[in-house]
Amino acid sequence: MSSPQVLIVGCIDFATDIYEDLKKKYSIEYYTSKSRQAFIQDCSTKYKDVPIIYRSPESQSVVGPFDAELVSHLPAALKYIVYCGAGYDSIDVQACANRKVMVSHTPMAVDDATADIAAILILNCCRNVLAASDNLRQGRWRNGVRMGTDPQGKVLGILGAGGIGRTLAKRMSGFDLAKVQYHNRSRLSPELEQGMEYVDFETLLKTSDIISVHCPLNNNTTHLINYREFTLMKDGVIIVNTARGKVINEAALVNALERGKVLSAGLDVFEEEPKISPGLLANPRCVLLPHIGTFTNESQYKMEKLVLDNLVAALEQDTLLTPVPEHKEFFKK
């Protein structure tokens, strides 16, 4: 039996209409491996001639991360991995590049939903909404609930002004903030800045009343916010993270919360999720969500559609529409 043109490692749950149409044109199969070791074995046998892998996060529980070790065992004929996710830290893209395997991800498709959650977390942290709701349910009305703070007149600092960060700026523009400032690897064009002010990293830390994290996780951003960075921040700062948990050192965040440096933290991502630090769970000034940034029907459909669009581009044009930043140079004419 010949190998499929596309191997699905994970699942397609939302863009099933597009998937059904593609099955009529191309040979597409779901992987059947029941463990990481079985998948490695299958890659050297029945999947050895597969040129494209569609990967979604659900496969993590079976085959684990696409780290250097697993990448070294991927099918010999593999050319592309189309990944269903904006953050791709579970794939060793350097190891892939070394094998000339190109990787795509799903930026833009996640911007609206993730920015919505960031805005929700900011407002919850400002107004202490969840703690107040819990208080009411426990029959205490407002007794013991801390006073809130208004977002009006505050400085919002956006760390990472990609699509999500820029969308958050739009979401928060109706709250009469004093200023929206951002730090990025490079300054945006005037068209993309749209009223935001570019500042260096330390200036953002020192002058922001609210800091929202939107940078990808890589070697340079792991524990980007650590003990030293918290000492630079304003007293009573609000921290929100909808990017990746490991961008913030959670132990340092707990310390900053406990000594009052951080007024409140709103987190949708964690260092070792789904394991949560006891220091965060026990702190009533934390708003904690179970990684629901893209957990909407519409966003999941948009993400899967973009992955399938990348898949078709790989099959028909030998290219990718949205390669990961580290691989864009391979697609320059």
Residue 185 and residue 91 in contact, taking contact as beta carbons nearer than 8 Å: no
Q: Which CATH architecture has domain 6-108+298-331?
A: 3-Layer(aba) Sandwich (3.40)
Interval 111-128 mean pLDDT: 98
Q: Which fold has domain 111-288?
A: Rossmann fold (3.40.50)
> In the chain, which segments carry CATH 3.40.50.720?
6-108+298-331, 111-288
- The predicted pLDDT at position 143 comes to 93
pTM above 0.75, yes or no: yes
246: pLDDT strictly greater than 90: yes
The predicted pLDDT at position 3 comes to 74
Residues 38 and 271: their CA atoms lie apart, in Å, by 28
User: 16-54, pLDDT tens digit by residue?
Assistant: 999 999 999 999 999 999 999 999 999 999 999 999 999
Residues belonging to the active site: 244, 273, 291
Model confidence pLDDT, tens digit, residues 62-94: 999 999 999 999 999 999 999 999 999 999 999
**Above 70 in pLDDT, residue 1?**
no
Whether residue 272 has pLDDT greater than 90: yes
Contact 13, 60 (CB under 8 A): no
Quote the percentage of the chain above a pLDDT of 90.
96
Residue 277 to residue 102: CA distance in whole angstroms = 35
Predicted confidence at residue 2, as pLDDT, reads 67
